[in-house]
Amino acid sequence: MAPSTETKDFNVATSVLPTHFILVPLVAQGHTIPMVDLARLLAGRGARVSVVTTPWNAARLQGIADSARRAKLPLDIVELPFAPADDGLPPGCGDDIDTLVPMFQALHRLAGPFEAYLRALGRRPSCIIYDRANAWTAGVARSVGVPLLFFHGPSCFYSLCELTVATHGLVEEREMCVMPGLPVRVEMTRATCSSAFLNTPAWEAFQKNAMEAIRMADGAVANTFLDLEGQFVSCYEAALGMPVWALGPLCLSTRDEAALACRGDKDKPTAVDQSAVTEWLDAMCTGSVVYASFGSLVRVLHEQLYEVGHGLEDSGRPFLWVVKESEVAASPEVLEWLPALEARTAGRGLVVRGWAPQLAILSHRAVGAFVTHCGWNSLLESVAHGVPVVTWPHLADQFLNERLAVDVLGVGVPVGAAVPDGEAVMVARGDIARAVSELMGGGDVAEERRRKAKEYGERARTAMAIGGSSYQNLTRLIQRFTPSDGNGKEQ
């Protein structure tokens, strides 16, 4: 199939817009969601934006494309031909931790179609922003002579640790590892540290590729804001030797209900209706509900699901818990046990099966705590809405994000996950109930944690509002890549 270069019928003729950004997200929910938020933001500021992706991901973005069209935004979705089956991968690869690295490798086949698409455009785009995991994009951008920025999904705190560990190695002290090159002291156990940097040969090869590709870039885009991570953004810029544009929190890019409703996997038949969840939350007191969800990739084993369910029940608080379809389907015991839990907690517990409208939940006044796996999107979405967190990292950057939330920002209580996901030790129900009660209970420390969370929420909104730091950074970024003659140059 030939790449689609068709532009849709917007209120402006997109071909006359001087600035054209091409965004190349990774085909995985946690990567695509913030880049699509960025696409809407750029289009909302008058730049033409094309989001280039695989047919599978493009289908999932149809709701976003429709809502952008209704809002008359110059945003289009471009499909490049890609069949995961050619590499023995399932259609939804990227939504599953086991297929993530093979998918990174298979996506290199998009380089040829991507170059053909760019050359067929007629006018050179202003800038390509690619997900750091799509390292194949960098060589193409260089060969067609288009400026290049990489989007790094995690916190700048993590990105800085990753870069300095890759350059200088870890400092090891007894049983702890100390992160080098940070403006604050951060320690981790060896177990969590090795999970943070996933030391498998396939991962190391991927990292090497990604690092080589970013050397070709003109800068980085980060989903964060200066009032949250300013010190890490500066250190990351210095370590990279190129500008880092802090443009977030990208989740605050729109308040449009229709746009929020089709974020992520909303078109899946199992996705839960936003209005049903909101109605349930409407009946709850302000700040009373514990929201528990573990992102898009983590799969909670059924023994662990029991502990989560009982922990939430034992906390005595109203709770809204998201259980993945695949987690329920994997175990007949869970299929029986879950309705019993729902019956016991009727009126104060809501179990959502499938994909939940996370932003609508976190922005609801009733939510007072988030039990999170510390994926950066989830953590930032919580901070952006002033909701403190119980931290339960499972893998990758999540352990360092936990340190950021707990030690640096002071908005989190750890559940006590001492080893990465997949290793035998489980978090017990008592740990969950204890962490929830520590976060939501009384006392100066808890009050201060909640106050800090609220304050970061306010600062996040300020950063994204007209004149705020992220708003201004976006203005500068668009100006930087708008051709001075206002027309773009012929290739």
Binding site for ligand UDP (CB under 6 A): 29-30, 33, 263-264, 293, 295-298, 322, 355-356, 358-359, 375-378, 381
Give the pairing of strands 367-372 and 349-353: unpaired
User: Closest approach of Cβ 418 to ligand UDP, in Å?
Assistant: 20
Cα 11 to its chain centre, rounded Å, is 30
Taking the least distance from each CB to ligand UDP, the nearer of 48 and 385 is 385
Strands (E), 326-431: 349-353, 367-372, 389-391, 412-414
Paired strand residues for 189 = 176
Widest distance between CA atoms in the chain: 67
Taking the least distance from each CB to ligand UDP, the nearer of 68 and 140 is 68
User: Closest approach of Cβ 208 to ligand UDP, in Å?
Assistant: 22
Tally of CB atoms within 10 A around 143: 12
301 token code pair: 């084993």
427 token code pair: 């978090």
Taking the least distance from each CB to ligand UDP, the nearer of 134 and 378 is 378
Kindly state the DSSP code that residue 19 receives in the 8-state scheme.
-
Give the pairing of strands 171-173 and 176-178: antiparallel
User: Closest approach of Cβ 268 to ligand UDP, in Å?
Assistant: 10
User: Closest approach of Cβ 490 to ligand UDP, in Å?
Assistant: 39
Give the pairing of strands 148-152 and 127-131: parallel
User: Closest approach of Cβ 119 to ligand UDP, in Å?
Assistant: 33
For residues 82 and 307, give the distance between their C-alpha atoms in angstroms, rounded to a whole number: 40
106 token code pair: 């298979």
- What number of residues does the chain have? 491
Sign of the four-CA dihedral 136, 78, 255, 272: negative
Taking the least distance from each CB to ligand UDP, the nearer of 298 and 432 is 298
Taking the least distance from each CB to ligand UDP, the nearer of 118 and 277 is 277
66 token code pair: 């429709």
Where helices occur in 353-443 by DSSP H, the ranges are: 358-362, 376-384, 398-403, 429-440
User: Closest approach of Cβ 392 to ligand UDP, in Å?
Assistant: 12
User: Closest approach of Cβ 397 to ligand UDP, in Å?
Assistant: 8
Taking the least distance from each CB to ligand UDP, the nearer of 148 and 350 is 350
Taking the least distance from each CB to ligand UDP, the nearer of 118 and 356 is 356
